[in-house]
Amino acid sequence: MTHWFHRNPLKATAPVSFNYYGVVTGPSASKICNDLRSSRARLLELFTDLSCNPEMMKNAADSYFSLLQGFINSLDDSTQESKLRYIQNFKWTDTLQGQVPSAQQDAVFELISMGFNVALWYTKYASRLAGKENITEDEAKEVHRSLKIAAGIFKHLKESHIPKLITPAEKGRDLESRLIEAYVIQCQAEAQEVTIARAIELKHAPGLIAALAYETANFYQKADHTLSSLEPAFSAKWRKYLHLKMCFYTAYAYCYHGQTLLASDKCGEAIRSLQEAEKLYAKAEALCKEYGETKGPGPTVKPSGHLFFRKLGNLVKNTLEKCQRENGFIYFQKIPTEAPQLELKANYGLVEPVPFEFPPTSAQWTPETLAAFDLTKRPKDDSTKPKPEEEVKPVKEPDIKPQKDTGCYIS
């Protein structure tokens, strides 16, 4: 498997002490605050721990989120919110906006922001695994599943939790609908890349591969369109990636569609399809260069030098030459001026996000524990008011270089 995926940086956050002097009036409340502080710190550590796997991530995330739920939901399963929802201010940066954080005094904002980072971790874990040499079938399945899990988390945040925010997300911030939708679609598209690689490896029918490639190109086009109204200074690099992948997989679709046409003795149309693949491949190559030169969040890399890219170029060239030879010896068919219309629909292999739910409220939360938080004793001079210009330290992500000949870059 040879893949290369663009990755935006992880979100960074200010430390949270969960110290509420005066408000906490009993040992059970004090223990919950201590556990919240330690489980949050543990989860943040795992985001950059190369030894972390999905099971470790799920356990750490569930531990923190189940405790945080007591700050959000009432304990009697009613629609009422917890009295503690607005007790703490949280600060988070955004993947595209540099180091000036957004701040909200709302535990729902924390739930969504941390959940967003968990989804980003799954995408980065998938990239890291796809970069291994001699990746096994089980590892390929884990890449595929991790991307579907990430898509499911992003989708769940967008549909079920972001609408609950009192302060809506600002334009260009991660929690804004355009950005989070682009993340969902990108995860689906990248998971389908794994499906295509598997279909090629198992020598499935060219018609199926062409249809999957076409559907994947459409995913990338949709994600690019979703970001089209964003400020170019922040989104240009990401959009270059989406655009080049769209061209790349449309070239794949024309290449394998050409093979289907040749097998049906439509050699002239096959040549025209391969010529279109060649044109789109050249366009993708130009976009690769532009991607490498574009400033913005994401890796500095030359994707056109990666194996995943070069392999398609060789396939298009060899298939076109084969069609031209056979047309010169056998078919003598006229080559159409217009490229064939791709009206391909894949019946198998299309990726849907894995449904996601946050864990239920921790059993540590009882009516007695909640009662041990006395909000009437909060200091009147509330020092937790947001300081919007305060910088949050960026996450130091591990610098992983691609291993030999994998064609992957991990950011």
Q: How many helices and strands (H and E) does the chain possess?
A: 10, 2
pLDDT for res 304: 54
359's tokens: 């864990």
pLDDT for res 409: 33
* Spatial distance between the Cα atoms of 121 and 182, rounded to a whole number of angstroms: 16
Q: What is the pLDDT along the chain (411 residues), one digit of tens a residue?
A: 567 888 999 999 999 999 999 999 999 999 999 999 999 999 999 999 999 999 999 999 999 999 999 999 998 866 789 999 999 999 999 999 878 899 999 999 999 999 999 999 999 999 988 877 778 889 999 999 999 999 999 999 999 999 999 999 888 899 999 999 999 999 999 999 999 988 988 899 999 999 999 999 999 999 999 999 888 888 899 999 999 999 999 999 999 999 998 888 888 889 889 899 999 999 998 888 888 888 877 665 556 556 666 777 788 888 877 878 876 677 676 777 887 878 767 666 678 999 999 999 999 999 999 999 999 988 775 555 544 445 688 888 875 444 343 333 333
pLDDT for res 348: 67
Q: Helix (H, G, I), strand (E, B), or coil: what is residue 73? A: strand
pLDDT for res 327: 61
* Spatial distance between the Cα atoms of 280 and 289, rounded to a whole number of angstroms: 14
pLDDT for res 52: 96
DSSP 71: G
pLDDT for res 317: 81
104's tokens: 């909200």
At 85-123, the pLDDT tens digits run 999 999 999 999 878 899 999 999 999 999 999 999 999
73's tokens: 């939901």
pLDDT for res 349: 66
pLDDT for res 318: 81
Residues 259/274, Cβ–Cβ less than 8 Å: no
Superfamily of domain covering 1-203+352-410 = alix/aip1 like domains (1.25.40.280)
Distances (CA, A) of 34 to 59, 89, 104, 333, 370: 18, 17, 22, 77, 15
